[in-house]
């Protein structure tokens, strides 16, 4: 569950970072340089704590001070969300003003926006101070960036896939399959394809979907699925990679390998000819995935009050498949209980 919780908080943080860096917000803040500078610092501070979340989630069960750190972080992050919501609202209002309002009204509204943003200055500085303080505590409480404190106990992956639980990723799948079925023009003896993305983005599910595609099965005489441990470091185990790739390079012409990784550097080390970076799911695909796990075969539209709440929850998943699946699965027993009681 630590991996799920870490993915949820990380996705939430990434959503705030993306919002702060969005074109609408950055364009709007060009006319408000003081607040714009603070929002940029807020974005950097969020990035600084985000890289610590995975390790903190793993260690909180054995280290009370880490759990306290996480609780304080979540509180600060919620305050940051409130601030960015207000900035985004002002940015949207400014955009609408530019399209529909008269010059006099525009001037009045810009003045109002400036005053509203100025009032946020103290709040932003307060949240900035909290986030910086939390980031500076990493060495004291023993947190490391981007790594877990101990090897994961997750189950090994397999090539089996549940097609009914897949939403979105059609374009990703088709590009990878096209790469598998086409001749490698890179001149390499072995065609390498890398699927890159942060944890919880659905890299393994996509690879499973490609592996089980009928076109792929008909094209290749032999297929094999290999799962390495989560703490396997390719950069420290280059000899192991060479030992694995040598017999593959000696195989039949047209042989291909798909590698899933969170690290762009792995794609470089493996000399991948195709590097497919996974983006977040669309809001509608994220909702469909959430609904599948929360409602099962039940039609959510038959319970509009539940669908409305469910869509709000799915939106908070920020397009992260793991978050949508995990939260949906956790809420399903409660939804079934509500149905059983006739609510």
The DSSP-derived string for 171-239 is HHHHHHHHHHHSPPTT--SSEEEEEE--TTS-HHHHHHHHHT-HHHHHH-S--------TT--TTT-HH
Residue 342 has pLDDT above 60, yes or no: no
Of the pLDDT bands very low, low, confident and very high (cuts 50, 70, 90), residue 108 is very low
Q: Between these two residues, 166 and 283, which has the higher pLDDT value? A: 283
Longest C-alpha distance within the chain, in Å? 74
| 11-40 pLDDT tens trace | 778 778 888 888 778 888 887 777 888 888
Question: pLDDT over 90 for what percent of the chain?
Answer: 15
Of the pLDDT bands very low, low, confident and very high (cuts 50, 70, 90), residue 174 is very high
Report yes or no: 293 and 211 within 8 Å, Cβ to Cβ: no
| 113-126 pLDDT tens trace | 555 666 788 899 99
Write down the pLDDT at residue 173: 92
Min mean pLDDT across 94-103, 160-169, 273-282, 294-303 is at 94-103
Report yes or no: 226 and 240 within 8 Å, Cβ to Cβ: no
Write down the pLDDT at residue 299: 64
The average pLDDT across 62-78 equals 90
Write down the pLDDT at residue 12: 77
From CA 123, how far away is CA 135, in angstroms rounded?
A: 18
| 278-288 pLDDT tens trace | 888 999 998 98
Write down the pLDDT at residue 146: 67
Question: pLDDT over 70 for what percent of the chain?
Answer: 72
Both structure tokens of 212? 């089980």
The average pLDDT across 325-341 equals 60
Of the pLDDT bands very low, low, confident and very high (cuts 50, 70, 90), residue 236 is low
The average pLDDT across 256-275 equals 79
Q: Between these two residues, 77 and 29, which has the higher pLDDT value? A: 77
Write down the pLDDT at residue 245: 73
Of the pLDDT bands very low, low, confident and very high (cuts 50, 70, 90), residue 151 is very low
Q: Please, what is the average pLDDT of the chain? A: 77
How does DSSP classify residue 277? E
The average pLDDT across 183-205 equals 78
| Cα separation values, 8 from 35, 139, 234, 247, 321, Å | 28, 24, 26, 40, 10
Write down the pLDDT at residue 112: 45
Surface-to-core class of residue 119, CB atoms within 10 Å of its CB (0-12 exposed, 13-18 middle, 19+ buried): exposed
Both structure tokens of 264? 């762009």
How does DSSP classify residue 164? G
Residue 145 has pLDDT above 60, yes or no: yes
Residue 153 has pLDDT above 70, yes or no: no
Of the pLDDT bands very low, low, confident and very high (cuts 50, 70, 90), residue 133 is very high
| Cα separation values, 11 from 1, 225, 286, Å | 15, 28, 13
From CA 300, how far away is CA 203, in angstroms rounded?
A: 28
Q: Between these two residues, 244 and 321, which has the higher pLDDT value? A: 321
Write down the pLDDT at residue 331: 72
Residue 163 has pLDDT above 80, yes or no: no
From CA 217, how far away is CA 81, in angstroms rounded?
A: 46
Write down the pLDDT at residue 111: 47
Q: Between these two residues, 299 and 291, which has the higher pLDDT value? A: 291
């Amino acid at each position: 569950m630590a991996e799920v919780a870490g993915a949820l908080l990380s996705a939430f943080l990434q959503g705030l970072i993306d919002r702060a860096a969005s074109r609408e917000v950055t364009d709007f803040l060009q006319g408000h340089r003081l607040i714009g500078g603070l929002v940029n610092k807020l974005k950097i501070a969020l990035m600084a704590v985000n890289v610590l979340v995975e390790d903190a989630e793993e260690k909180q069960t054995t280290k009370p001070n880490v759990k306290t750190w996480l609780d304080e972080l979540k509180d600060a992050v919620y305050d940051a969300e409130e601030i960015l919501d207000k900035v985004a609202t002002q940015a949207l209002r400014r955009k609408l003003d530019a399209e529909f309002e008269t010059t006099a009204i525009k001037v009045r509204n810009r003045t109002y926006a400036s005053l509203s943003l100025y009032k946020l200055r103290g709040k932003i500085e307060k949240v900035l101070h909290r986030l910086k303080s939390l980031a500076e505590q990493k060495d004291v409480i023993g947190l490391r960036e981007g790594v877990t404190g101990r090897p994961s106990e997750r189950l090994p992956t397999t090539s089996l896939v549940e097609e009914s639980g897949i939403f979105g990723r059609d374009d990703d799948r088709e590009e990878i399959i096209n790469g598998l079925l086409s001749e490698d023009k890179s001149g390499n003896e072995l065609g390498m394809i890398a699927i890159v993305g942060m944890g919880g983005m659905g890299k393994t599910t996509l690879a499973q979907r490609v592996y089980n595609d009928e076109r792929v099965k008909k094209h290749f005489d032999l297929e094999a699925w290999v799962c390495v441990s989560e703490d396997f470091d390719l950069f420290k185990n280059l000899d192991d990679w060479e030992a694995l790739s040598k017999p593959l390079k000696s195989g039949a012409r047209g042989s291909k390998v798909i590698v899933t990784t969170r690290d762009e550097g792995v794609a470089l080390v493996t000399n991948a000819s195709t590097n497919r970076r996974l983006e977040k799911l669309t809001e509608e695909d994220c909702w469909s995935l959430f609904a599948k796990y929360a409602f099962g075969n039940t039609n959510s539209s038959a319970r509009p009050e539940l669908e409305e709440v469910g869509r709000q929850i799915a939106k908070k998943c920020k397009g992260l498949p793991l978050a949508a699946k995990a939260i949906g699965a956790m809420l399903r027993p409660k939804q079934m209980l509500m149905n059983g009681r006739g609510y």
